[in-house]
Structure 1
Amino acid sequence: MDEFEEPRAGPPVYALRSVFRVYETRREGDRLLYFGDPIVSPDALERHVWPLFREAGYEVTLQVRTGEHVLVAEPRSTGLDGIPWTNVVMALLTVLTTLFAGVEWYDATVTLDDPLSILQTWPFAVAVLSVLGIHELGHYAMSRYHDVNATLPYFIPVPTIFGTMGAVIKMKGRIPDREALFDIGVAGPLAGLAAAIVVTAVGLQLEPVAAGPVYGLGGLNYPPLIQFIATVTGGELYPPGGRVNPVVVGGWVGMFVTFLNLLPVGQLDGGHLVRAMLGRRQETVGALVPAGLFGLGGYLLFVQEETLQSITLWFFWGFVAIALAYAGPATPVLDDALDRRRMAVGVFTFVLGLLCFTPVPFTFV
């Protein structure tokens, strides 16, 4: 075994003495390795050493290597390292798929002789991408505020009726405490919902599209929040002989995504909020979500006698919720309770999420 040597960049060995008896240190590239024996539980160990390594500029994890316990410290970074080409390429592809999705929403004509005619659907693409992008940038901005390493948004290009399956960011670092978990979790829905409200209000002032059913849909059903916006702005959600301007569909997408993200399970935004608000009791709440979604689907099918095609969504999300509940929520390092102001904001956010809900989001021809 190598000769014991005090680390030059990380916390000194004596600072770990009360929780981890170090008998060897090594450097492995940019990483620091502290071999030793834990003398407290893993949770207590992490609570003690995490702030020390964080202050020194490292993320630390406890690992077991060939039967030995080792604290592995890797350099932290919350900035961008060069051009994020993957993010850029996925964003450009999503612009393309949303432009193509907009062709049918506008009942537009695009030919190979004039491929740039696809650009006539740009308002739809901008509407969808803006509400999704602002949602994820809300998470990203709050991650930077709390000094948590996170990626820029990854847009997901899929040739669906909306041209995308949404966008995500990836959290690379541990979340310090419940306040950071709450702030990061709540920033996305509130930012995205604000964008969706603006997009919907603008879209309701634009000319309707004189066309019939699109993508086999009989129509979109509008949640209470969109109905309220239409009442306030004097917009028409069901124009005679046509459909609302596709920009409204962008706002609808934003609200639908907000509701799904606020399901209080796993590492969805709602799961983050409930974990921050209720602590470990979130797991009990999360376990009830699949049952609620299956129950909703069953009620619509057997009591309301909706078509199975219209409510497959809730059965699908019931299975997704099972997987999310099994994976569990994000766990902050420090688990102190939230203040009352954040608790109130959390309740308000869930109320907004319910205003984005409609039992049957769309019907089919």
Structure 2
Amino acid sequence: MQMLPADAPAPEAFTDYFHVYEVDVDDDEEVRYYGEPLASQETVVQRLAPAFRERGYRVRVERRLGEHVLVAERRSPGVDGVPWTNVALFVATVVTTLLAGAGWYGIPITEQPWRAVEAWPFTVSVLGVLAIHELGHYVMSRYHDVEASLPYFIPVPTLLGTLGAVIRMNDHIPSRRALFDIGVAGPLAGLVATVVVTAVGVSLPPIEAGAMVGGAGATTAATQVQLGYPPLIQLVAWGVGQPLTYAEPGVMVNPVVVGGWVGAFVTFLNLLPVGQLDGAHVTRALVGDALSTVQKLVPAALFGLAGYLYVFEGGQAVGIWILWGFIALAFGRVGGVTPLDTSPVGRGRWLLGILTLVLGVLSFTPVPIVVGV
């Protein structure tokens, strides 16, 4: 049996849950305890993770070559070195959102591709709300000493130029309070950004949907797409005394408002209480294992919404909610996060959670987008 690192728990400390007959150390970064679990793998991890976490390790149980292995890896909550993957994806997403923004502004990039940079306000608005949402999660992860990556942006050549951004958490969540704080921080930060971006966007000059910047005769994305604005966006526009639609034919709201629309739409979807979404984290932190009952209702509600739109709204946006119904089904099967300490959260977090869910409802509209109008 190899000598353990000084800070690694000795096998004798957890004989009630895992019987160890061999230990292997890999460059002092990973300690592998070979043996037999004396309870289910989930129970072993839940019971042993707090002790390992105190010593700077995260732990999991695997089966390698027919043997059970309790694997302890050193935790590294900070960012080591330059996150080149994150940087490359961000740069790529800047490019795809500039190209998408050019479509919204009607910039003729086919003839003059360098003019895509003129769509920078669109890129700043869309990436800004996404980045602030994910950085909300990241900041609270660091606050609770949970290992999390910087945001990974997803570049896709669509009308928006991106499918959003995510952070990766490869760590145990120490408590329901930490789970709540990390889960709620993203939507709340994103909503603040959504309100600011929307207020700025509606205050900027509108565009002519049939004309292009610096020329004439081009068709903008705004002529092919109709956005459905949720109550939150409508309230912000009303609050600053600016319209979201114009009586003049062909006049459209400034594309910066699209960033606010993205923020609201992403917030609503993320607050669905299923799987690994923010809404599931918040709901589990508040009601514990009752989440399993709640998330069974979500796919039914989404499919029901699709059915309503098909029957009463001419099928508008049906595909969106059918897709998300299946996504909710899949996420529900994957399962969510189980915090190590299951002590209930306090009254203050309950009130904040209810407020967040209400804001999520205000970010919902049954027909968020119609293409080909």
User: In structure 2, the residue corresponding to 1:349 is in which secondary structure?
Assistant: helix
Describe the superposition over 1:12-66 as per-residue Cα deviations: whole angstroms up to 9, x where unpaired. Answer: 2332234333333221332112233444454443333212211221111123344
Question: Residue by residue, what CA displacement relative to the aligned partner does 1:302-347 show, whole Å, maximum 9, x if unpaired?
Answer: 1x23235x32111111111111111111222222222111111111
Moved more, 255-264 or 43-52: 43-52
Q: Match of 1:225?
A: 232
Which residue in 1 is equivalent to 2:262?
Answer: 253
Q: Is the 8 A contact 1:199 1:248 kept in 2?
A: yes
Indicate if the aligned counterparts of 1:217 and 1:362 stay in contact, CA closer than 8 A. Answer: no
Find the aligned partners of 1:339 and 1:131 in 2 and give their Cα distance: 29
Could you tell which deviates more after superposition, 7-16 or 317-326?
Answer: 7-16
Identity of aligned residues (%): 53
* 2:280 alignment counterpart: 271
1:191 has 2:207 as partner: no
Structure 1 window deviating more from structure 2 (39-48 vs 87-96): it is 39-48
Which residue is equivalent to 2:141?
Answer: 143
Name 1:23's counterpart in structure 2: 21
Alpha-carbon shift at residue 357 of structure 1 (Å): 0.6
Equivalent residue for 1:129? 127
Check the 8 A contact 1:111/1:117 in 2, yes or no. Answer: no
Matches within 5 A, 1:154-165: 154-165=152-163
Structure 2 regions of 5+ residues with no counterpart? 211-219
1:290 aligns with 2:304: no
Aligned-partner residue type, residue 266 of structure 2: V
Secondary structure in 2 matching 1:204: helix
Per the TM alignment, residue 177 of structure 1 is displaced from its structure 2 partner at its CA by 1.6
Distance in 1 of aligned mates of 2:18 and 2:225: 64
Whether contact under 8 Å (1:46, 1:333) holds in the other structure is no
For 1:4 and 1:79, how far apart are their aligned partners in 2?
A: 29
Partners of 1:161 and 1:215 within 8 A in 2: no
TM-score, structure 1 as length reference: 0.93
RMSD: 1.9
Q: Please state how far the C-alpha of 1:284 moved relative to its aligned partner.
A: 1.2
Q: What TM-score do you get using the length of structure 2 for normalisation?
A: 0.91
| Counterpart-to-counterpart distance in 1, 2:40 and 2:313 | 53
Q: Does 1:236 align with 2:234?
A: no
User: Aligned pairs, how many?
Assistant: 360
Aligned to 1:45: 44
- In 2, Cα distance between equivalents of 1:41 and 1:110: 59
Q: Deviations over 1:247-269 (max 9, x none)?
A: 11110111011001111111111
Tell me if the contact between 2:50 and 2:340 (Cα under 8 Å) persists in the aligned partners.
no
CA distance in 2, matches of 1:6, 1:117: 60
**Does residue 11 of structure 1 match 2:19?**
no
Distance 2:358 2:281 in 1: 16
Which residue of structure 1 lines up, in the alignment, with residue 321 of structure 2? 314
Q: Which moved more, 1:130-139 or 1:324-333?
A: 324-333
Counterpart selection for 1:338 from 335, 345, 348 = 345
User: Once the 2 structures are TM-superposed, how far is the Cα of residue 67 of structure 1 from its aligned partner?
Assistant: 4.4
Q: CA deviation at 1:90?
A: 0.7
How far apart, in 1, do the equivalents of 2:237 and 2:129 lie? 18
1:354 maps to which of 357, 361, 367: 361
Q: Quick check: 55-64 or 177-186, which moved more?
A: 55-64
Match of 1:63 in 2: 62
